[in-house]
Amino acid sequence: MKTIKLQDGERLEARQLPRQGVLPANIMQVAQDIVDDVKLRGDEALREYSEKFDGVKVDDFLVDSKLMDEALSKVDSEFVKATRKAAAQIREFHEREVEQSWFTAREDGTILGVKITPVSAAGVYVPGGRAQYPSTVLMDCIPAKVAGVDKVVMVTPPQKEGGISLYTLAAAKIAGVDDIYSVGGAQAIAALAYGTESIPKTSKIVGPGNAFVAAAKRIVSGDVGIDMVAGPSEVCVLTDASADATVVAADLMAQAEHDPLATCYLVTCDEQFAIKVQDSFEKLLSVSPREEITRASLDNQGVVVIASDMEAAIDAVNTIAPEHLELHCENAMGLLGKIKNAGAIFVGPWSSEPLGDYVAGPNHTLPTGGTAAFSNPLSVEDFVTRSSVICYTPEGLMNDAPATQTMAQAEGLWAHALSAGLRRKMINESISSYDGVDLGDINRIAWPQDLKTPSAGE
């Protein structure tokens, strides 16, 4: 791992981090071409891309729902038990996020509020490349169901033999997925965004994927809602010498084994402890079945930050703004208030990050690449819309219309002011309809007072 040693008073700079930044132009162009093609040719394009990229000829993209039921009986019973436990705890956590519509009334009778409405349909992308991710099925589908989404559809790449992982199918059944479509890549995102002959258009698309999937999500964003443009997995462990070096090494490797581009950060004030952690890698890598991927991630993307003191270490963590953060040190809970930027925070030595990946309850779809500084984990809020509700009484209108007209006049928006002014006149003069009514000085109805407009020099 690359080592950055901060001197007294020195701060970690974002430019020192091994982040790729925006998606490469060549990937964006390929994704754009695929999205445009699917918009134009629908299922025909999907079949061609499935054969080209997945090596599978697909006649019917819709997966028979019976396969989900059959999967539950075919997979190991311990997996089913674990998945049901995870699903229950994920559901329990997200049920606490549900927001109700609310209304409040002023003394003049004006009613204001927010109306909460689930999106009509949500599309969930579940990867199927280097590994199968039934946990992603749970994390991305259950919040949608808790939010009240009527139709939750899942897309996932077919495996070489043309089927879908039994673990993924079983998780989909437990999570309550309505329909599954056997298609992956940028083409699947396009199908969810615009619809094809077989696949319905959705209102929101969530879920992780490779660079082409991320690029496609960025392209369709605006035509459809997305959760985020996710990059490679990342973890940051803030630690002191009280931690066990082997455990910390395993925690870092738990992210490194996802992908050669996964990024691991170790932040500590103890340089000797950092050396012990790196020595532990070799011991653990020698028995890891994912050694090649893990080693590539640690060698090329791993970073050790040696800070001068704990305050500098925490500042470095906030600069990194990691997807996952472990506070693996003494008085971990006491440090929590100082953490500003992190997708998920694992507090104390017993809070293993993989617990959050699978069963703890909070969502594991998290902001990556430093975006935790301004964005949030996937939640029920991602699957609803909020409509402001405004209902005025005549008394309320008379209270607020003058200020409305004054502000509209200052902005030069005549019809804005007139809209409120006409209602004032109706109330003041008991006019029930303007049919046949002489409006007289229409400008005075819109702008009942003269505003002094200051000159540029005043």
Quick check: 184 and 128 in contact, CB under 8 A? yes
The C-alpha atoms of residue 30 and residue 28 are separated, in whole angstroms, by: 6
Angle of the 271-285 helix axis to the 291-301 helix axis, nearest 10:
150
Q: Is 324 known to be catalytic?
A: yes
Radius of gyration of the chain (CA): 28
Quick check: 418 and 447 in contact, CB under 8 A? no
Amino acid identity of residue 327, one-letter, is: L
Quick check: 196 and 38 in contact, CB under 8 A? yes
Beta-ladder partners of 114: 102, 388
The C-alpha atoms of residue 257 and residue 139 are separated, in whole angstroms, by: 20
Exposed/middle/buried for 104, CB within 10 Å: 0-12, 13-18, 19+? exposed
Quick check: 363 and 343 in contact, CB under 8 A? no
Half-sphere exposure of 234 (CA within 13 A, CB side): 29
Q: Is 416 known to be catalytic?
A: no
Catalytic residue among 94, 258, 324, 364: 324
User: Strand 111-118 to strand 384-391: parallel, antiparallel, or no bridges (unpaired)?
Assistant: antiparallel
Map tokens 């003191």 to a residue: 309
Catalytic residue among 234, 257, 323, 353: 323
The C-alpha atoms of residue 8 and residue 312 are separated, in whole angstroms, by: 9
The C-alpha atoms of residue 212 and residue 218 are separated, in whole angstroms, by: 10
Give, in order, the Cα–Cα distances in Å from 348 to each of 3, 325, 333, 376. Answer: 24, 11, 7, 22
Quick check: 195 and 188 in contact, CB under 8 A? no
The C-alpha atoms of residue 216 and residue 439 are separated, in whole angstroms, by: 55
Query: Which two three-digit tokens encode residue 86?
Result: 């995870």
Beta strands in 167-323 (DSSP E): 179-182, 204-206, 225-226, 234-239, 263-268, 303-306
Catalytic residues, by residue number, are: 323-324
